[in-house]
Amino acid sequence: MTDERVTITVDGQTITIGPVLAIGAGEANTGANVGVGAGVFRDKTGVALNLRTIRGVGGIVTTVNGDQVDVDGSALAGTRSAFYPANFDANLGDMLSLRIGSAGSGRFNFQTPADFANLTSLALIGQPSGTNATADIDLGSDYGALGEASSNHSETDTAITFDLTSGQLEALDISNVFSSLAAGDFAGITVQHQTIGFDMDYLGILLTYAQA
């Protein structure tokens, strides 16, 4: 602060007014960054406090939302896959498989990972020994988390059919009987062939999901 004084003389009487702040000196306050990490406060110019902006990079998105700035990193979560092999009783070349006959049935188990957010796809992987464009395969599921009944959720689909080609690995979409799947669920599915005309070797279940 500059101690400048203004002197006024009236009829021999002196009046002194001051001190007066020098023009442009600004106020005697400032700002400071507290805590750890990158600081938002940069410096001060006159009476203006200069703050750094927040910019998202590498998939991070920043949005001004009223009095706050939202930082959204959900796009970084990505997608993951997990494969759950069948309880084998046969083989498909060098691959172990569970072989189900034309009118046979089989069961498969899996568990959703702890970082599961929502389902992207869920498929039974298998190879048929014949061709059928409308193979009638019924599906039934039971699933639940620890502390719940194993059949807390129970769903069936007896109307679904699959287009199968002989000697070709197929992905049979079974997501329709797992509509309420959540992280940590233990799940089982029963597959019932309705005389599809041939055997099918199942390798297991492929789960693809978005991370939490």
- What are the per-10-residue average pLDDT scores of the chain (212 residues)? 59 64 62 76 82 77 82 74 95 96 98 95 98 98 98 98 98 98 98 98 97 88
CATH number of 79-211: 2.60.120.260
Reported pTM: 0.66
pLDDT of res. 76: 62
Q: Where in the chain is the domain with CATH 2.60.120.260?
A: 79-211
pLDDT of res. 107: 97
Cα(203)–Cα(206) distance, integer angstroms: 9
What is the secondary structure of 34-100 as a DSSP string? -SSS--SEEEEETTEEEE------TT-EEEEETTEEEEE-GGGS-EEEEEEE---SEEETTEEEEEE
- Closest to 193 in 3D by CA, of 105, 125, 96, 99: 105
Peptide bond into 113 cis (omega under 30): no
Cα(209)–Cα(25) distance, integer angstroms: 60
Q: At 191, which helix (H) or strand (E)?
A: strand 186-193
